[in-house]
Amino acid sequence: MTQTHTHLFQITEPGERRQETPENKTLAIGIDLGTTNTVGAVLEEKNSVPRLIKMLDGTTLIPSIVSYTKSEIHVGKKALQDLNFKPENVIKSVKRFMNQAGSKTFNVAGKSLTPLDVSSEILKFIKEQASRDLKEDVTKAVITIPAYFDEAARAATKAAAELAGFEVLRLIHEPTAAALAYGLDKKVEGLYAVYDLGGGTFDFSVLRLEKGLFKVIATGGDLSLGGDDFDEAILDLLKAQNPLLKTELERNPNQLIEILLKVRLLKEKLTTCSSLDEAIHVGDKTFAVSLTQKNYNLLIEEKVEKTLKIVSSVLKDADIEKNEIDGLILVGGATRTPLIQEMLTTFFKKEPLTNLDPDHVVALGAAFQAHALVFGSDTLLLDVTPLSLGIETMGGIVDKIIPRNSPIPLRQSQEFTTSQDGQSALLIHVIQGERELVADCQSLARFELTGIPPMPAGLPRISVSFSVDADGLLTVSAHEKTTGARQEIAVYPTFGLSPEKIKEMLFESLYHGEEDLQKRLLLEARQKLEQDITLVKKALGEVQDASENKELRDVLKESEEALAQENISLLKEKQHALSQAAEPLLEKRLSQGVQKVLREI
C-alpha cells in the first residue's frame, strides 16, 4: 500500500509567492456558512488583516434563514421578519439537512425546494452583498463546513455555491479555519484545540501547528447540539414559571419562533450580567420574566458536560493528554457563555484564547485561506477524513483503505485478486464506516471492473486506489495490471448519513470493537479453509491416482466438517493440517501443468 501526501490549501510551493499585479489582481472571500448565521470576510491587501463583509445596514451577521412567496425570495433579516407573519414560508437551519440534499424537500409557497436550493439563496445573497461592499464582482470563495460533514454534504455545499455563481476554491473545516485565523495572526506553534459551539452544531478538533504546517490530528462532534438547545431550555423554564405563557404559545404556535428569538436576546444578555428582569410580548399579552445566570447555568450544565465528554473522546483518539494542549480556541457565539469558559478552564487548567470574536473567527480564517489560494502562501494546512473508507471483500468483510482521521488530500492503493477460477469481472463496493462487516457500514457506491483475463483464482493483480481531494470528495479506481483494464468512479452519493447515524456509527464501532474483530477473524479463517478445500478437491480430480490418498481424504473430510463450527482456532488448525497433507499433491499438480505447457510448445 502506498500513500502520497500533496500540498493542501495552497497553489504555490511553500515560500513561493505569486506577485500581485493590476493584470492578475482578484478578490476571493471566505464564507462561514453557519447553521444560525452566515458571515463573509475578505483580505483585501497582502499581509493585512482580513475584514468582515458588511451589509447595507452596516451589520456583518446574516441570519441563515430564507423565506419564499410566489414572487419573491428574502434572505437574512428580511426573512427573519417574515417569521412573524408567514412562518410556514420560512426555512431555517438548512445546514442540518445538507447531507440529505438528494432526498429532503421543503414544500414552501407552492415550491418544492431542496437543501441545496435554500443554501444557494444564502450564498447568492452574500455574493451580492460582498460585490456591493467591495465594488467589484466577487466570484471566488473558500467556504467552511463542519468537520463531520460526509461526502454527500460536502458535494451539496459545493454545488450550492456553484449554483450561486461562486467558483469554490476550497471547502475547509470550520475548526481548521479558526486555527488558521489564530495561527497566521499570532504565529503560534504547538498543539491547539478548537472548541466550536455554534447555533446548531458542536465540533472539537485537535491540531498541530508548527513552522507553517497546520495538521488536524483528530476531530469529533455532535451535529445536533448547539446554542439553539440552550434557547429551548430557557423557554421551557419560562413556560414552567409562567403557565399562562405556555397556554398562550399553545394557542398561538406561530409565535414560537419569534419568542425563541427574544429568548436568544435574553441568553446573550446573561453573558454579561448576573440577572435580568424583562417583559416578553406574545400576541396582545405581556409576560414578566426573571432570569439569573445561576439558573441558566443549571439549565445548560448537562449539555456542556456532554461536549466535554466528546472532548475527552477526541483527546483519547489522538493519544494526547489535556495538559499537552498549548491553547484552546473558541468558535461560535455560544462560547461567550461564562459557564462554558469556566468549565473549559477547569478542564484544561488554562484559560481559552479570546483574541478574536468567536462569531467571526471562522470567516476570518476562510478569508486568509482564500487570499492564500489566489496569491500564494507559506502555509500548509491538512484536514482529515471523518470516517474510514474501504471496499467489500469476500464474505462481506470491510477492507479499510483509508482510515478515519487520515490527513487529506491523499491517495492510497491496495492490491486485490479474484476468488474464482476464470473470473473476468470484479464488483467494487465502496464502503464508509468503522465496523468490520459491510452490513454494519454505509454503502457509498458500486462499480464493476471488466476485462480481467481468465486465470486461476488468485493470479490476477488488481490495484484499487482511493483518492480524496482537498474538498474531501472521493474518487475510486480499479486497475488490472496484466491487461491494463481500468474503471473509475467519483463518489457523489445521492444521500448521506444523518447526524444521528454518524454519531451512532462512531459509538457502535467502539462498543462492538472486540465482537466485530472476532466475527472478522472467524469469517477470514472459514474463507481460507473453504478456498483450500476447493483447491484440494480440484487437484484430486486432475492428478492421476490422487483419489487413492486415504490420509488426505480423511483430513479433507475433517476440514469440511470444521466449516460448520464457530471456532477460529479449530478452523486454523484444520487449514494448516490440510495444507500440510495436500502439499505433495499440489506439487504434483503443478509439475503436470508445467509438463503440459512444455509439450504444447
Chain centre to alpha carbon of residue 573: 42
Task: Tell me the CA end-to-end span of the chain in Å, nearest whole number.
Answer: 38
Which of 511, 534, 562 lies at the terminal end of a domain, its last residue?
511
Q: State the pLDDT at residue 382.
A: 60
The domain in which residue 503 lies consists of: 389-511
The CATH number of the domain holding residue 44 is 3.30.420.40
Q: Both 460 and 404 in a single domain?
A: yes
Q: Residue 245 corresponds to which cell in the numbers above?
A: 405563557
pLDDT band at 59; cut points 50, 70, 90: very high
Q: Is the peptide bond before 50 cis (omega within 30 degrees of 0)?
A: no
Q: Both 290 and 306 in a single domain?
A: no
**Mean confidence (pLDDT) of the chain:** 81
The CATH number of the domain holding residue 535 is 1.20.1270
Amino acid at 133: D
Q: State the pLDDT at residue 590.
A: 65
Mean pLDDT throughout 14-37? 67
Note the pTM of the prediction, 2 decimals. Answer: 0.63
Q: Both 307 and 278 in a single domain?
A: no
SS3 category, 450: strand
Which of 511, 537, 567 lies at the terminal end of a domain, its last residue?
511
Q: Both 218 and 244 in a single domain?
A: no
Could you read off the pLDDT of 286-306 as tens digits, one per residue? 888 888 889 999 999 999 999
Which of 297, 322, 348 lies at the terminal end of a domain, its last residue?
297
Q: Are 52 and 41 in contact (CB under 8 A)?
A: yes
Q: Both 340 and 286 in a single domain?
A: no
Packing angle of the helix pair 293-317, 338-348 (nearest 10 deg): 40
Q: State the pLDDT at residue 137.
A: 94
How far apart (Å, rounded) are the C-alpha atoms in residues 237 and 311?
28
Which residues contact residue 560 at a Cβ distance below 8 angstroms, ignoring those fewer than 6 apart? Answer: 533
Could you read off the pLDDT of 62-100 as tens digits, one per residue? 999 999 988 899 999 999 888 777 888 999 889 888 888
pLDDT band at 17; cut points 50, 70, 90: very low
Q: Which long-range contacts (CB under 8 A, 24 or more apart) does 242-250 make?
A: 242/287, 242/289, 244/285, 244/287, 245/280, 245/282, 245/287, 248/282, 248/283, 248/285, 248/287, 249/282
Mean pLDDT throughout 572-587? 80
Mean pLDDT throughout 322-337? 92
Q: Both 81 and 142 in a single domain?
A: yes
Q: Both 160 and 34 in a single domain?
A: yes
What's the chain's Rg over C-alpha atoms?
A: 29
- Quick check: 392 pLDDT over 80? yes
Of residues 430 and 592, the one with the higher pLDDT is 430
SS3 category, 125: helix
Residue in the block written with cell 466485530: 516
Number of independent structural domains in the chain:
4
Catalytic site residues?
Answer: 32, 95, 174, 196
Mean pLDDT throughout 574-583? 82
Q: Are 465 and 411 in contact (CB under 8 A)?
A: yes
Q: Are 295 and 267 in contact (CB under 8 A)?
A: no
Q: Both 418 and 467 in a single domain?
A: yes
How far apart (Å, rounded) are the C-alpha atoms in residues 482 and 453?
8
- For residue 285, what are the CA distances in angstroms to 253, 256, 275, 289? 14, 14, 23, 13
Cβ-in-10-Å burial (0-12, 13-18, 19+) of 107 comes to exposed
Q: Both 234 and 351 in a single domain?
A: no
How far apart (Å, rounded) are the C-alpha atoms in residues 65 and 519?
47
Q: Both 488 and 357 in a single domain?
A: no
Q: Are 108 and 149 in contact (CB under 8 A)?
A: no
Q: Both 236 and 207 in a single domain?
A: no
Amino acid at 280: I
- Ranges of H-type helices in 376-511: 499-511
Q: Both 368 and 485 in a single domain?
A: no
